[in-house]
Amino acid sequence: MKYIRFYFVSKSVLSILILILALMLADRALAAAKAAETKTVAVMPFGTLPVGDVSVDMTRIMTDAMKKHEFNVISQDALEGFLIQRRIRRPDFLDRAAIRAMGSVLKVDGFVTGSVDLIADGENPMVSMNAQMIDCVEGSVIWANSFSCTGADYATFLGLGKITSLRELVDIAVDELLKDLPDTLPGTGSLDSSSQSPFEIVRASFSPEVLRGGDSARLSIEVGEITGAVQNIRAFVLDNEIELTRQDGKYYSGAVTAPTVEGIYPLKIYVTDRWNRLFGVDAMASLTVHNSPPEIAVLFRQRLISPNNDGVNDKVLFFPEILKSNILQAWEVEITNGDGEVVRSENGIGVLPESFVWRGDNDQHKTVEDGTYFCQLFVEDKAGNRTSTKKEKIVVDTTRPEVTVSVAEANQEGITLALKADDVSQIDYWELIIYDTAGAEAARFGGRGDIPATLTSVVRETQNGLKQEGESLLAYSLEVRDVAGNRLQVEKEPLRPPQPEGIEATPEEKPEVWIEDF
């Protein structure tokens, strides 16, 4: 009996040990399976978008969101190095060979690409974006989605809950965009091959993607056959079918007229095979209708310049401000003269520069003449909506102030000076110093703004008064600067004595010369 009892105790212990070992092996197998399912991807640049006073780094936001979905994401530096080496500037330049090379070189299973079609701040912020995941083995689209929303979409019946923060709305849009993202990529064994479509939509795109209501766009579709041939393909925007033309077997194209109402309209594709099985594909592309022109302004620090290279007001600096806009396509700034002729212009594509500088030169890099000029900024968004700012006035003044100083009246009590200023621009600062007959400073005047017409000084006549053999014994120094930065400086010039009223200077008599002409 003792032997049997000992035998049963040993069997129980052995069973427990086997159970523990099985659990450990199961945990390791589960961890290995989870590690095998975790895939590495690259996130193509979505751009850093300036919105008002802030910049939204969409690439970083998409990267963080992919990590939340338990994807390993390679660094942007590694991706950028590969793209530079291959001279790939846009995802459009990635063909199947380049996609497979990306997977091999960067050790990624796929990559995410897409674009931000609309982002706007304000009381009712708006976000519209799309994304696709591309498999690096076959180069095919394995997932695609698009999403758009406004802050008002989340308001309740009483208006509560409306989102006014653009950053909060962007985070929500990205979460909604990626909510149907597959947990694994092809090759994990989680996909049932029997449920796969016999063909794939390799690419679908509108050109242009953003346009005004009623304008036309071109749809291009590329179909890849996997296990079967395409019997028929149909494409729709809303309930309107797009008539497609087949080219080279796997390419289809057609024209579509955009709806008139602003909004985002996804493309729907239906494909049938030779057994008349229907397969539907959504969110491969979308049309964005934008009818409102951008709202812009130009801010100036100062509007008067003196481009004479003296370091004072040699240039005018102005700042473009986007008040409300879709993503810009192009911009142009013009400087015109008083006759409406363009003397200086510059243009560009995409995002506006933070500031513009005009140094008072024309397109031939020569300084323009003094006068009044006008600055105007033109912009066009991706939809083709064009607008401009009002003409902003700029004054070019390179002429220094002209000021005359003379003695209007003199007596034993002092002298009264007459001053006359002539300048295109207003006087900013002036200073006048009077020196007596001994050369010492006798009086000092100065101030900001206009120069007075007369000044009275207590300088008295000494040493034969103000004249000595027709010359003044008093002197003055003068410094004047106008608001354009032009400067007049006079050092110890003699003061002109008063000219008696009604008496004009008698011209010098020339001696008569008699010429005898025979």
Q: How far apart are CA 31 and CA 9, in angstroms?
A: 33
Angle between helices 76-85 and 96-106 (to 10 degrees): 130
- How confident is the model over 198-210, as pLDDT tens digits? 677 888 999 999 9
Using 50, 70 and 90 to split pLDDT, how confident is the model at 390? very high
Cα–Cα dist 286/211, whole Å: 11
pLDDT-based confidence at 52, cuts 50/70/90? confident
- The confidence score (pLDDT) of residue 171 equals 92
- Mean pLDDT value across residues 403-410: 86
DSSP class of residue 59? Answer: H
What does the pLDDT read at residue 31? Answer: 42
Q: Would the pLDDT of 462 be above 60?
A: no
Q: What is the pLDDT of residues 258-305, one digit of tens each?
A: 999 988 899 999 888 777 777 777 767 899 999 989 999 999 988 999
- pLDDT tens-digit readout, 112-161: 999 898 888 888 899 999 998 988 877 778 888 889 999 888 887 666 78
DSSP strands (E only) in 423-505: 427-435, 441-448, 454-457, 467-468, 471-472, 475-482, 487-494
Q: Would the pLDDT of 507 be above 80?
A: no
Q: What is the pTM of this model?
A: 0.52
- Give the single-character DSSP code of 92: G
Residue 485 carries which side chain, given as an amino acid letter?
Answer: G
Q: What is the mean pLDDT of residues 53-61?
A: 88
Q: Is the pLDDT of residue 464 over 60?
A: no
Least confident of 412-426, 462-476, 491-505: 462-476
Q: Give the closest residue to 482 by CA, choosing from 330, 317, 306, 346.
A: 306
Kindly state the average pLDDT of the residues 51-59: 85
HSE at residue 74, side-chain half, CA atoms within 13 A, is 23
pLDDT for res 5: 44
Q: What percent of the chain has pLDDT over 70?
A: 80
Alpha carbons 96 and 101: distance in angstroms, whole number: 9
In this prediction, residues 409-428 reach a mean pLDDT of 82
- Classify the C-alpha dihedral 196-197-203-204 as positive or negative: negative
Q: Measured between alpha carbons, how far is 33 from 36 in angstroms, rounded to an integer? A: 5
* pLDDT recorded at residue 96: 73
Residue type, 477: S
Q: Which residue has the higher pLDDT, 78 or 414?
A: 78
Task: For the chain, report the end-to-end CA distance as a whole number of angstroms.
Answer: 179
Mean pLDDT of 42-58: 86
Q: Work out whether the CA dihedral 272, 277, 281, 287 comes out positive or negative.
A: positive
Burial 276-288 (b: 16+ CB within 10 A, else e): eeebebebbbbbb
Domains identified in the chain and CATH numbers:
34-191 (3.40.50.10610), 203-291 (2.60.40.650), 295-396 (2.60.40.4070), 402-494 (2.60.40.10)
- Burial class for 303, CB neighbours closer than 10 Å (0-12, 13-18, 19+): middle
Computed over every residue of the chain, the mean pLDDT equals 81
What pLDDT was estimated at residue 461? 52
Residue 513 vs residues 506, 507, 509, 516, 517: alpha-carbon distances, Å: 21, 18, 12, 10, 12
Residue 56: how many other CB atoms lie within 10 Å: 20
Q: Structure tokens of 185? A: 């990529």
Percent of the chain with pLDDT over 90: 35
**Helix axis angle, 58-68 relative to 166-177, nearest 10°?**
50
Task: Give the confidence band of 184 by pLDDT, cuts at 50, 70, 90.
Answer: low
pLDDT, tens digit (0-9, with 9 covering 90-100), for 321-336: 988 877 888 999 999 9
**DSSP label at residue 291:** -
Rg of the chain on CA atoms, in Å? 41
Confidence label for 4 from pLDDT (cuts 50, 70 and 90) = very low
Distance CA 187, CA 176 (A): 26
